[in-house]
Structure 1
Amino acid sequence: MNASLLNPFTVTHPTAVQTSLVSGASLARFDLTGKFVAAGRSDGSAAIWDLDTRAAIRWCEGHVKAVTSVDWSRNSRYVLTSSKDWNVIVWDLASPTDPPQRYTTIRFDAPVIDDKGKRSRIVLALLSTGEAYVVDSRKEHRARVELCEGLSEGDDERARSIMTTARFDPSGRHVFVGTSTGNVLVFNSRTKTMVARHRIAGAGSIKSLEFAKTGRRFATNSTDRTIRQFILPTYPSPSVGVECAILETEIEPTHRFNDPISKVAWHAMSYSPDGEWLAGGAADPATHKIYIWDISNDGQFATALDGGREPLIDIHWHPHASRLASTTNQGSVLIWHCPSPERWGAFAGGFEEADENVMYEEGESEFDVENEVEFAMRKKLQEDENVDILGGVDDLVDHQVNGVAGDPDDEDLEWADDELDDDQQGWRLKVIMVDDDDTY
């Protein structure tokens, strides 16, 4: 019986543009609830858009140069923006003012080209000079630590490569850093020590990293115009002040994605919520193209979405639904969706749509009188059968093994949850309406 059930939560890939947000943005990110979109602009501001009303409800104006990255806290109360003005600002959307109140401002010595927030008080920043920092603003853990690549025996100190991209994995246990020499460095978030170095043969410089929601798979975008997907190994949890051997491996990709005809490069990539689809934004100067591959079907090419003549800059997949946000070089944010066809069978279980009129043939026992007692007993037995409403048992196990689900005895996760902020479920976003010169 379980095999015959259809999963109503299956995420397919989007196929059409639902709406266009004229925001002047260079990048856009969904929050974890999927209700809002944060759009970073080249004038130094960031707009928060409500997807239900398709209106900008907050303006985060605090930078004096272009915004290079935006990120959300886990319950969407805080928005983190970085800029070429060397600042990273954390905004509190619960404040009843516009622009929102600044929760934290972090100053660096070089332009910030990327930033990620594990919590609102733990920030990962990558500078244009090729250095990555983890900034912890909690009272008991206050620190600003540079992530330094560990050297093997015989390596020259000058042989350190430039860090080109950095981000937390979904569990927050580790920081993954891509380098200009085609290596992926793995750091423990708690101890800030390097635990692994993965070499990717023929990749060139790593442009970006992307993780599936379960945390077991990740993809790299490199200068050789190929997107590669890998399966992550498990890493030991080091102790503070104790040096551990660095895992040195050359990992082989499970899939390679590219355009064999036009050999196009890629601006960005993003996994679907269930990790079964991977979208790649093409760096085509003439068109707005998004390529989608089916991971569950051995990585086969599924489709290419055409968004018009405005070239693509960035893409991001919705955290729960079959929706994509793609940004054009003219500042528009295209929201893609999968239109749902009308299914009349939803109103009657045995209803089937027919392409043309057909003669109805009566079944042999269709109108036979049935014993009501036997019918009730058979129905009761069917109701007592166990139904697997979770599905994906293997994915759930992977989810727990990598710490995404949360292990109460995990030292790394306990460290991250120490001194929790006000980013808790149940906070309310105050809606500010502006009518002429009156604010309510």
Structure 2
Amino acid sequence: MNEALISPFIINHPTAVQTSLYSYRAQLSRFDPSGRFVGVGTFDGTAYIYDMDTKAAVRTLDGHVKNITSLDWSRHSRYVLTSSKDWNVIVWDLSLTCDPPQRFATIRLDAPVSSASFHPRNSQIVLALTSTGEVYLQDLRPSYRERFELCEPQEEGEDEEHSRRAAMTVARFDPSGKHIFIGTSSGHILVFNTRTRVMVGRHKVSGAGGMKGFEFAKSGRRLLTNSSDRTLRQFNLPTYPRPGEGILETELEPTHRFNDPITKTAWNAMSYSPDGEWLAGGSADPASHKIYIWDISNDGQFTTALDGGRDSLLHLHWHPSKSSIVSTALHGNIFIWHSPNPERWGAFAGGFEEVDENVEYEEKEDEFDVVRPFGLLSTRVYLLNASAGG
């Protein structure tokens, strides 16, 4: 679309479904960093790559025997990572033209994998969380090939009988990749230095209960948590000490709380807009497909709720650069939400008049009749007569 025709007063959050895709038993979907492709993970263990220009599946990643629990893209969209309840994390190389795509690496863990993700700057470093509550940092570089378990350090003087920690339920890199944030079932947030794998921060979130999900604003200075008390909380993150300088232990106070005051619904997913000024929350209501939108720039005010029907929402993800959201429904529908942009033809052409609906124009009888000049016609007749006489 010509940007000169787009009104500057457009809404910056999605308002309607633009199109939909269908993938049998889809469980989650995620845009790649360019926004051109969408990766889809399914309950039967197969992942698909959809092209947003053609709306067709262009790659099929068939490597798991149980349902896919997470999907992530590398920084330049060359690699796709899938994790599954079959205890495996597979890294796929999409740069090769062979079909099916080749596996770049397979990581075998000791329990079903709840989630996995790439390091934001290095696609050969993978963070994985198992269903038994352990977090592993896997280095796939040939010179390292190591796996480290991230553990909360034991308190000084604490015996082994009382040193059992709460299970880890969430694990994410921050956008810079310098720190790893881990949420626990007791409502704590643990922060580790990625390079040294040493814990540098521990935060208590009062009243939150077990942590279910993390989301970062693009700047990395804001953290959003989803917890078992059905409330989304946004925090401004502090500056963490360097390794060896101690552990920052504070109680984080949220700058905003987001929830549904009427139904008190839980949340299956959440995602920031690219500029961090909007927040989308996917409702866990089993009888509806609802996406709640809040305006962060306006003190976190609730703006609207997008309704996608009665097929419950499983996952959502905001486009990396546009006002667009992809959401996944229970029975395989994948909705692409957008914000329709009205075109300003009046500004493009000064004499252009905009109308609300089509107007049928009645042509006059002689409006488009072609009238030849008499002088030109006389000249042509004279020339024809002269040539005939000569």
**Which of the five TM-score ranges fits, normalised by the shorter chain?**
0.7 to 0.9
Do residues 333 (structure 1) and 338 (structure 2) align?
Answer: no
Q: Aligned to 2:143, what secondary structure does the other structure show? A: helix
Which amino acid in the other structure matches residue 216 of structure 1?
R
Residues 1:16 and 2:21 are matched in the alignment? no
Task: Kindly report which structure 2 residues correspond to 1:338-417, keeping only aligned pairs within 5 A, or say none.
Answer: 338-348=339-349
Question: Is the Cα contact below 8 Å between 1:11 and 1:321 reproduced in 2?
Answer: no
Listed one character per residue, the Cα deviations across residues 361-413 of structure 1 (whole Å, up to 9, x for unaligned) are xxxxxxxxxxxxxxxxxxxxxxxxxxxxxxxxxxxxxxxxxxxxxxxxxxxxx
Partner in structure 1 of residue 312 of structure 2? 311
One-letter code aligned to 2:153? G
In structure 2, the residue matched to 1:182 is 187
Residue equivalent to 1:125: 128
> Alpha-carbon deviation of 1:175?
0.6
Confirm whether residue 282 of structure 1 aligns to residue 283 of structure 2: yes
Match of 1:46 in 2: 47
CA–CA distance in 1 between the matches of 2:318 and 2:82?
Answer: 19
- The alpha-carbon deviation at position 138 of structure 1 amounts to 1.0
Aligned partner of 2:385 in structure 1 is none
Q: Please give the alpha-carbon distance, in whole angstroms, between the structure 2 residues aligned to 1:255 and 1:132.
A: 28
In structure 1, which of residues 147, 150, 156 is the aligned counterpart of residue 150 of structure 2? Answer: 147
Q: Distance in 1 between the 2:305 and 2:130 partners?
A: 33
Whole-angstrom distance in 2 between the partners of 1:230 and 1:177: 15
Matching residue of 1:236: 241
CA deviation string 1:40-62 (max 9, x = no partner): 01111100000000000000001
Verify the 8 A CA contact 2:7 2:344 in the aligned structure 1.
no
Q: Deviations over 1:240-262 (max 9, x none)?
A: xxx44111100100000001111
Query: What is the TM-score when the length of structure 1 is the normalising length?
Result: 0.75
SS in 2 for 1:296: helix
Q: Residue 321 of structure 1 corresponds to which residue in structure 2?
A: 322
Query: Please, which moves more after superposition, 156-165 or 318-327?
Result: 156-165
The CA deviation at 1:150 is: 2.1
Give the superposed CA RMSD: 2.0
Structure with greater strand share of residues: 2
| Whole-angstrom CA distance in 1 between matches of 2:10 and 2:107 | 40
Task: Report the secondary structure of 1:141's partner residue.
Answer: coil
Instruction: Indicate conservation of the 8 Å contact 1:86/1:112, yes or no.
Output: yes
Residue 73 of structure 1: how far off its partner (Å):
0.3
- Number of equivalenced pairs: 346
Listed as ranges, the matches of 1:259-274 within 5 Å are 259-274=260-275
Matching of residues 91-170 of structure 1 within 5 Å: 91-118=92-119, 119-153=122-156, 157-170=162-175
What displacement does 1:332 show? 1.4
Distance 1:63 1:190 in 2: 30
Query: Structure 1 residues 109, 12: closer, same or farther in 2, change over 3 A?
Result: same
d(CA) in 1 for partners of 2:281, 2:69: 20
CA distance in 2, matches of 1:308, 1:63: 31
Q: Deviations over 1:15-48 (max 9, x none)?
A: 0011111012100010000000000011111000
What letter matches 1:96 in structure 2?
A: T
Q: Secondary structure at the match of 2:297?
A: helix
Q: Distance in 2 between matches of 1:7 and 1:153?
A: 62
Cα deviation for residue 153 of structure 1 reads 4.0
Distance 1:86 1:73 in 2: 21
Query: Aligned partner of 1:60: which letter?
Result: L
Give CA deviations for 1:178-220 in whole Å, capped at 9, x if unaligned: 1000011101111111100011000000000000011111100
Q: 1:60 touches 1:98 (CA, 8 Å); kept in 2?
A: no
Go from structure 1 to structure 2 and tell me whether the alpha carbon gap of 1:182 and 1:92 turns closer, same or farther (over 3 Å shift). same
Q: What one-letter code is carried by the residue in structure 1 that aligns with 2:14?
A: P
Task: Supply the distance in 1 between the matched residues of 2:157 and 2:235 (Cα, whole angstroms).
Answer: 29
Deviations 1:286-332 (A, max 9, x none): 11000000000000001000000100011100000000011011011
Q: Judge conservation of contact 2:273–2:319 (CA < 8 Å) in 1.
A: yes
Question: Radius of gyration: which is bigger?
Answer: 2
Deviation >6 Å, runs of 4+: 6-11, 349-355
Aligned-partner residue type, residue 18 of structure 1: Q
- 2:36 corresponds to which residue? 35
| 8 A contact 1:194–1:246 mirrored in 2 | yes
**Could you tell me which amino acid in structure 2 is paired with residue 16 of structure 1?**
A
Relative to structure 1, is the Cα distance of residues 12 and 139 closer, same or farther in structure 2, using a 3 angstrom cutoff?
same
Maintained 8 Å contact 1:126/1:132: yes
Q: Which residue of 2 aligns with 1:396?
A: none
Query: Which residue does 1:211 correspond to in 2?
Result: 216
Q: CA separation in 2, counterparts of 1:35 and 1:17?
A: 17
1:140 is paired with a residue of what secondary structure? coil
Amino acid at match of 2:238: P
Structure 1 residues not aligned, in runs of 5+:
1-5, 356-440
CA distance in 2, matches of 1:312, 1:37: 17
**What percent identity do the matched residue pairs reach?**
66
